[in-house]
Amino acid sequence: MTHADPASFSGAIPLQPPAGTSIWKSPYLLTTIGAVSLIFLAAMQSLAVTTVMPTVAADLGGTSLYAVAFSGSFATSIIGMVASGAWSDRKSPAQAMWCAVVAFAAGLVVCAAAPTMLVLVLGRLMMGLGSGGLVVALYVIVARVYPPNLHGRVMASFAAAWVVPSLIGPAGAGAVTEFLHWRWVFGGVAVLAAGAFAMLAMRLRSLDLTASHPDTSPVAGRLALAFVVAVGLLAVSLAGETRGGLPVSVLLVIAGFVVVVVAMRPLVPRGTFVARRGLPSVILTRGLIAGACFGAEIYLPYLLQQHYGFSPTWAGLGLTVGAITWALGSEISGRWGNRIGNARLAVAGAGTLAIAVAVLAVSAWLDLPVWVPIVLWGLGDLGMGMLYPRTTVLALAYSTRRNQGFNSSAVQISDGVGTSSSMAVMGLVFVAAPAAWAFPAVFAIGVIIALVALVPGLRLGHAAENGS
């Protein structure tokens, strides 16, 4: 077997290719196109749903379930991540991806036809199950097809795949909602899902992605723990719906977090919760920056519409700046990440994110000009683009052929738990706080989480991310 023929790959880690090898040339071209197309779809879905959800919640009378519609999908994605990771380590990530795409598309159809906010949330739960499995399978495919020194470029191309959706997705989704109906947004993404996966599926048929030494450890226990984590996250998300008032809601949130942490421990590397140097800190950093960024991001369109009077179309444009700067930051990390160093990337990423979210809080409090939060959010996403994909590159670099699925799922589990938890807490605070303090309080939580991320961020270490 030679590295020049990824179609013959059977589980060994790809060798470093000759200098000048590109992911956009043979033998990687078709795989890159298919994978990037799938990320393009995920970007369209994420940006579109974030933009239209305020309108959806108002139309279906489900403002109280606004945060749950987001955090719930992240909760169920945990189950999909564990199942996909185990399936990839035991058999093939291609098989796991087939099941994930079916669940994702089915959830979109349910959302498009939802008569109530509760049904839409159920559709989002299905989408989360599929999206979690899809991303993990895709990461394993990257690990088994591309050599380590090309992983950063692959992740940069994934970030670049957000550029076009960032230009047309938010505004387009807002326009569809404004002039047609928000249901067309979900239905349109479902059609795109079929088309995007068809491109990758044709290429996957010619690749042997099975591991040469498959993992045979029991899976049932891990799936049961993933289910417990998902239920715990959903309980945290729904804590604000209880009739016992704020004290009961807070107790439920604390209890839910305890359950999540205990059940999550076997699903991530040892030492993750104490920021042990190396892979555990990579996993913890990913969860913290995801929680700070994505938790705050879902309230940005809300802020622009409710506080600044933007229409859905113009509120969508508020996310465009951030998506473009994220892609720029990822390109910087992909090209010069090894020179910059992981510690500097962590400081730049978490630090600029904390500044950006702090500006959102001050903007809502002092009624600053609208360009201030939009521009500064772009700065925060620039930092996220530098750090977020770097955590994926490092996780793959710390992996062996037997645990690529486990480590990839651990990255996504941390991502999902961090995001879902922060969204749940922010949602509870947003509902409980006085109207004048709701947005500042939510964004203040994001600032704290971003600053805490600096602790494991300075302990990322170095693996073989440069291919040496």
In a domain, 7, yes or no: no
> Span 210-215, mean pLDDT?
64
Total number of domains constituting the chain: 1
Where are the extended beta strands (E) located within 266-347? Answer: none
In a domain, 120, yes or no: yes
Q: What angle do CA 245, 247, 248 make, to 5 degrees?
A: 70
Local confidence band at 116 (pLDDT 50, 70, 90 cut-offs)? confident
User: Which of 319, 322, 326, 323 is closest to 302 using CA atoms?
Assistant: 319
> Span 286-313, mean pLDDT?
85
Greater pLDDT, 48 or 344: 344
pLDDT in tens, 147-183: 877 887 888 788 777 777 766 666 666 677 667 777 8
pLDDT at site 427: 81
In a domain, 304, yes or no: yes
In a domain, 30, yes or no: yes
In a domain, 59, yes or no: yes
Greater pLDDT, 440 or 47: 440
pTM across the whole model: 0.74
pLDDT in tens, 84-97: 888 888 777 878 88
In a domain, 314, yes or no: yes
In a domain, 156, yes or no: yes
Cα-based distances in Å from 415 to 276, 288, 396, 422 = 18, 8, 15, 11
In a domain, 15, yes or no: no
Phi-psi sector, 151: left (phi>0), alpha (psi -120 to 50), beta: alpha
Task: Please spell the DSSP secondary structure of 355-400, one letter per residue.
Answer: HHHHHHHHHHHHT--THHHHHHHHHHHHHHHHHHHHHHHHHHHT--
The enclosing domain of 266 has a CATH number of 1.20.1250.20
What residues make up the domain containing 315? 23-457
Local confidence band at 15 (pLDDT 50, 70, 90 cut-offs)? very low
User: Which of 79, 80, 87, 99 is closest to 201 using CA atoms?
Assistant: 99
CA 247 to chain centre: 31
**Confidence check: pLDDT of 441 > 50:** yes
Share of the chain above pLDDT 90, in %: 17
pLDDT at site 17: 56
pLDDT at site 240: 59
**Confidence check: pLDDT of 10 > 50:** no
pLDDT at site 3: 32
Cα(56)–Cα(290) distance, integer angstroms: 24
Cα-based distances in Å from 402 to 86, 217, 282 = 10, 11, 19
